[in-house]
Amino acid sequence: MSEIRCPACRALVRSAACGRCGADLTDVIRAVSWASRLTEEARMIFLRGDFDTSAALARAAWMLRKTDAARSVWILALLAQGRGADALKLWVEKNTSP
Ligand SMILES: [Zn+2]
């Protein structure tokens, strides 16, 4: 799992309670875990050729956590759906954001 930071103080998350500010991070960890599972599921479903479901799952993962993996699967699924303009918009957003 990639690095997670406390949304309150930006400390690196190492447990369900932030070591710096004490914030309860249970929901943050749960959301990150869900995003990871959704991304993997989107990838597997893409490989099976169900691009509509893959795009929906990748989008859901992206909404939970903005990772390159989720965005890449989403872009590929959009392209496979023939939604090149939407894919390009997402790609441009990816490559022009700071
Ligand atoms: Zn914190």
3-state SS, residue 44: helix
Q: What is the mean pLDDT of the chain?
A: 93
- Residue 3 alpha carbon to ligand 1 centre in Å: 14
Predicted model pTM: 0.83
pLDDT at 1 over 70: no
- Residue 31 alpha carbon to ligand 1 centre in Å: 16
Q: Which residues make beta-bridge pairs with 12?
A: 5
Q: Which of 23, 16, 53 is nearest to 38 (CA)?
A: 53
- Residue 50 alpha carbon to ligand 1 centre in Å: 40
* Domain locations along the chain: 35-96
- Residue 23 alpha carbon to ligand 1 centre in Å: 5
- Residues 28-53 have pLDDT tens digits of 999 999 999 999 999 999 999 999 99
Would you identify the CATH topology of the domain 35-96?
A: 1.25.40
Confidence of residue 97 (pLDDT cuts 50, 70, 90): low
